[in-house]
């Protein structure tokens, strides 16, 4: 069941096409990584999903229903370039943003208290935004995004500007929100967070979607059939189509060797072949990182 389906979205600005026939399917309760280099069209796509912009053609369905003004309340959006009213108090600001999303005053006040306590910021409620550190301001922005308990949370580079401790706090919150039923679109070009968070991804480059699917499947698809082995004692020649790509001598007669295996190969056979020649200390398949897939796909296109 998909929470959001975008079908054949096209959007052009005065002098260039921002999106060309982009379709996406975002499963319920997933963390969906929307990836792509700067200027690929991610922000435009997000703005169409959040009804800030209107697509030239194509449709967006939310819960199977064409996007309309009522959906504003089920979407929470944290833009990449974001800010708050500097001269407004933390509590008032959150209340204002929550009420714009359609919460009643009392519900909003309850949730604001809960979230501020949860993120250890309760005592800042009456302070002006400008008195807060940048990290704290970003936490407030995060709270503002999720206060109305949206089904779809769109986070555009949510970790930029956070220190590692806050990154972990926010990451845990994102996971918790997902576990409680929310679906998250996570737009970034920082691959390490994709690696640890996303279960689905789509890659957009030059206004077109060039890759999408489950992260696991994509990695599978891009596996290079390479194994990395650390062993004591050298390996001589190997048959069965095994190919030694490189060998690196480590200390104490230890070696690190990369071996390419044929398609649809059983790793146990490779183990067996090496075991006779050398003592194995470490054996692992080299799985391409999202970073490598990203770079190879994007550079392939240009």
Partner 1 sequence: MNKILLVVKREYVTRVRKRSFIIMTLSTPLLFAGLIGALLWIATMDQAEQKIITVIDDSGLFKNKFQNTDDLHFLYLDLDLETAKSDLNQLGPDGLLYIPDIDIQNPQGIQLYSESNPHFGVLNKIESTLEKEIELIKMKRMGVDQQTLEIIDTKISVTTLSLTSSGEKESNAEATFGTAYVSSLLIYFFLFLYGVQVMKGVIEEKYNRIVEVIISSIKPFQLMMGKILGIAAVGLTQFLVWVILSILVTSAGVSIMGFKQDAATIVSESAGVDNSSMELAQSSPGIWEMMDTIPFTYVMVTFIIYFLGGYFLYASLFAVVGSAVDSDADSQQFMFPITIPLIISIIALGFVLNDPDGQIAFWMSMVPLTSPVIMLGRIPFGVPFWQLALSVSLLIAGFIITTWIAGRIYRVGILTHGSKVNYKTLTKWFFQNY
Binding mask 10-49 for partner 1 (x = CB under 8 A): ---xx--------------------------------x--
Q: Which is nearer to partner 1, 66 or 300 (CB)?
A: 66
Pick one of 82, 200, 215, 219: the residue that binds partner 1 (CB under 8 A).
82
CB 211 to partner 1: min, Å? 27
Distance CA 78, CA 156 (A): 6
Q: Applying CB under 8 A, does 153 fall inside the site for partner 1? A: no
Pick one of 87, 237, 264, 299: the residue that binds partner 1 (CB under 8 A).
87
Pick one of 7, 20, 21, 56: the residue that binds partner 1 (CB under 8 A).
56
User: Given the rule CB under 8 A, which of 141-149, 158-166, 182-190, 287-295 is the region that contacts partner 1?
Assistant: 141-149
**Structure tokens that stand for 273 in this block:** 């072949």
**Structure tokens that stand for 124 in this block:** 């800042």
Q: Which is nearer to partner 1, 144 or 218 (CB)?
A: 144
**Structure tokens that stand for 279 in this block:** 């003592």
Q: Applying CB under 8 A, does 144 fall inside the site for partner 1? A: yes
Q: Which is nearer to partner 1, 78 or 293 (CB)?
A: 78
Taking each helix axis from N to C terminus, what angle separates 90-100 and 134-146, rounded to the nearest 10 degrees? 30
CB 77 to partner 1: min, Å? 4
Distance CA 85, CA 183 (A): 28
Distance CA 51, CA 49 (A): 5
Distance CA 3, CA 71 (A): 12
CA-derived radius of gyration, the chain:
24
- Beta carbons within 8 Å of 251's beta carbon, 6+ residues apart: none
Distance CA 138, CA 81 (A): 11
Is the Cβ–Cβ distance between 250 and 191 less than 8 Å?
no
Pick one of 45, 67, 75, 229: the residue that binds partner 1 (CB under 8 A).
75
- Note the residues at the interface with partner 1 (CB under 8 A): 13-14, 47, 50-54, 56, 72, 75, 77-79, 81-88, 96-97, 99-101, 141, 144-145
């Amino acid at each position: 069941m998909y929470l959001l389906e975008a079908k054949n979205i096209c959007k052009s600005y005065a002098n260039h096409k921002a999106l060309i026939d982009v379709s996406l399917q975002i499963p319920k309760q997933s963390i969906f990584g929307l990836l792509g280099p700067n200027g690929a069209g991610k922000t435009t796509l997000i703005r169409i999903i959040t009804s800030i912009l209107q697509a030239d053609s194509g449709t967006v369905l939310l819960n199977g229903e064409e996007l309309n003004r009522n959906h504003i309340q089920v979407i929470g959006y944290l833009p990449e370039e974001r800010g708050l009213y500097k001269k407004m108090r933390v509590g008032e600001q959150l209340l204002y943003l929550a009420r714009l999303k359609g919460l009643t005053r009392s519900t909003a006040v309850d949730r604001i208290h809960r979230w501020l306590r949860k993120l250890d910021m309760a005592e800042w409620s009456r302070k002006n935004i400008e008195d807060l550190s940048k990290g704290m301001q970003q936490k407030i922005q995060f709270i503002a995004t999720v206060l109305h308990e949206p089904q779809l949370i769109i986070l555009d580079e949510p970790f930029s500007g956070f220190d590692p401790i806050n990154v972990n706090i926010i990451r845990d919150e994102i996971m918790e929100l997902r576990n409680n039923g929310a679906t998250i679109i996570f737009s970034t070009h920082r691959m390490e967070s994709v690696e640890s968070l996303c279960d689905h991804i789509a890659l957009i480059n030059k206004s077109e979607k060039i890759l999408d699917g489950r992260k696991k499947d994509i990695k599978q698809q891009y596996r290079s059939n390479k194994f990395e082995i650390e062993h004591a004692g050298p390996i001589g020649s190997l048959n069965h189509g095994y190919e030694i790509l490189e060998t690196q001598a480590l200390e104490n007669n230890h070696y690190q060797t990369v071996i390419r295996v044929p398609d649809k190969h059983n790793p146990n056979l490779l183990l067996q072949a090496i075991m006779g020649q050398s003592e194995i200390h470490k054996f692992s398949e080299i799985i391409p990182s999202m970073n490598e897939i990203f770079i190879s796909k994007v550079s392939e296109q240009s």
